[in-house]
Amino acid sequence: MKILYGIQGTGNGHITRARILNNAFKQRHDIEVDYLFSGRERNKYFDMEGFGHFETKTGLTFVAQNGSINRLETIKQTKLMTFIKDIKSLNLDKYDLVLNDFEPISAWAARLQGKPSLSISHQAAFCHAVPSTGADLIDKFLIKYFAPTRHSLGVHWYHYNQAVIPPFVELGLNAQHSINKVQAYTLVYLPFESIDAIKNTLAPLSEHSFVCFHPDIDSPYKAQNIEWNTPSKSGFQKALGKCKSVIGNAGFELATECISLGKPLLTKPLNGQFEQLSNAKALQDLGLSHTIYQLDTDLIEEWLEKAQGNTVTFPSDPQQLVDWLVAGEWENVQSICEQLWTQVKYPQSVKQKLN
């Protein structure tokens, strides 16, 4: 089976999910997968060796400034003619399936060429009846038409009786966390906030230590109570395993890793981004995180003093999903959903909220 896997490159969460599936694909002799990433300049990707000779396109992306989506700048920087040209020039003749994680070029090319296409993404969950907040007409339009596919499986922390599967976590993620190795620092990942804004918020909390990863940092350094680091998958995973708590935007994959490890999580969703606002709401409803809507020193200090985490066990081996992909019964989503949700284990406090 020959698959083209199109992945939205603007967020590291999409790439994290692709890495997990890529590892599963590599164990098979009945699948061959090519990768296409869009939305980020090629030199801005990191730790991509596992994908082999992957392809990159300009695609479409959103511009964030000072922790908010800037729609005007997003429109200004959109290279529409390049986008249309890339769709028309993408030849899908040799592929049996276009797998998609909110990547618009491969999705639209598959639609125009009549190729089978399947979305497996967190965004696809919002095409179904799952809790959401902050979505306007433009958001609803984008969810439906940004990367349209013939079939879809949403990914979420609960199924809500919809065509939704649980997230996968990297095998061994839980093994990285040992109570004896936890260190007294809070991991910070707020890539859409400015460095100055983060610094001004956290520096006054001199009794607390922070390890911050940020895309605008060129080389690691430490200033006052904050250790600054460049983007690094391995470095971030090590820091996540040893930290006592996490402050981050409400991106899906980071939140998944945090609750898989039982890390106390404080989310600051990206303003104007309904997906992150909806994620923050879902996590709060499940009792898995707390939320702030602006960087505030007092609110963060209050949270740090009483932060507690809950652990949810998600599946780590996607081979059942790969079997389902190979079988080609992509309209029959109930079977794969049931198989995967039986592997999820919630703490008692979350079970009570779900009941």
CATH at 65: 3.40.50
In a domain, residue 71? The reply is yes
pLDDT in tens, 233-264: 889 999 999 999 999 999 999 999 999 999 99
Residue 324 lies in a domain: yes
Residues 15 and 164 in one domain: yes
User: Looking at the structure, do residues 222 and 297 belong to the same domain, yes or no?
Assistant: yes
Single residue among 287, 306, 325 that ends a domain in this structure = 306
What is the C-alpha to C-alpha distance for residues 142 and 139, in angstroms, rounded to an integer? 5
Give the rounded distance of the alpha carbon of 281 from its chain centre: 16
The CATH number assigned to the domain holding 253 equals 3.40.50.2000
275 and 204 in a common domain: yes
Determine what percent of the chain is predicted with pLDDT higher than 70: 93
| Contact (CB, 8 A) for 126 and 114 | no
Phi, psi dihedrals of residue 245, rounded to the nearest 5° = -165, 170
Q: Does 129 map to a domain?
A: yes
Contact predicate 19/237, CB 8 Å: no
Does the structure show a pLDDT above 50 at 278?
yes
Q: What is the structure's pLDDT at 179?
A: 46
In angstroms, rounded to a whole number, what is the distance separating the alpha carbons of residues 30 and 277? 40
Q: Flag whether pLDDT at 178 surpasses 50.
A: no
Closest to 229 measured CA to CA, from 181, 175, 190: 190
Task: Tell whether 272 is covered by a domain.
Answer: yes
* 62 and 15 within one domain: yes
Asked if residue 185 and residue 52 are part of one domain, the reply reads no
In a domain, 311, yes or no: no
Domain boundaries, position 240: 174-306
Beta carbons within 8 Å of 149's beta carbon, 6+ residues apart: 98, 100, 107, 110, 111, 117, 118, 119, 124
- Residues 139, 259, single domain; the answer is no
Mean pLDDT of 282-309: 95
Nearest to 250 by CA among 118, 133, 104: 133
Same domain, 161 and 184: no
For residues 122 and 199, state if they share a domain.
no
Looking at the fold, whether 155 and 291 belong to one and the same domain comes out as no
Each residue's pLDDT tens digit, 302-348: 999 999 999 999 999 999 999 999 999 999 999 999 999 999 999 99
Side-chain-facing half-sphere of 339: CA atoms under 13 Å: 13
Placement of tokens 């529409």 in the chain: 80
Q: Does residue 130 sit in the same domain as residue 278?
A: no
- 157's torsion region: left (phi>0), alpha (psi -120 to 50) or beta? alpha
Write the CB contacts of 300 (distance below 8 Å, at least 6 apart in sequence). 201, 202, 205, 247, 266, 292
Please say whether the beta carbons of 154 and 124 come within 8 A: yes
Asked whether residue 255 is domain-assigned, the answer is yes
Does 291 reside within a domain? yes
Stated pTM of the model: 0.90
Q: Are residues 21 and 156 in the same domain?
A: yes
Domain count, the chain: 2
325 with 298, same domain? no
For position 136, what pLDDT does the model report? 87
What is the C-alpha separation between 175 and 138, in angstroms, rounded?
42
| 102-158: pLDDT as tens digits | 999 999 999 999 999 999 999 999 999 998 998 888 888 889 999 999 999 999 999
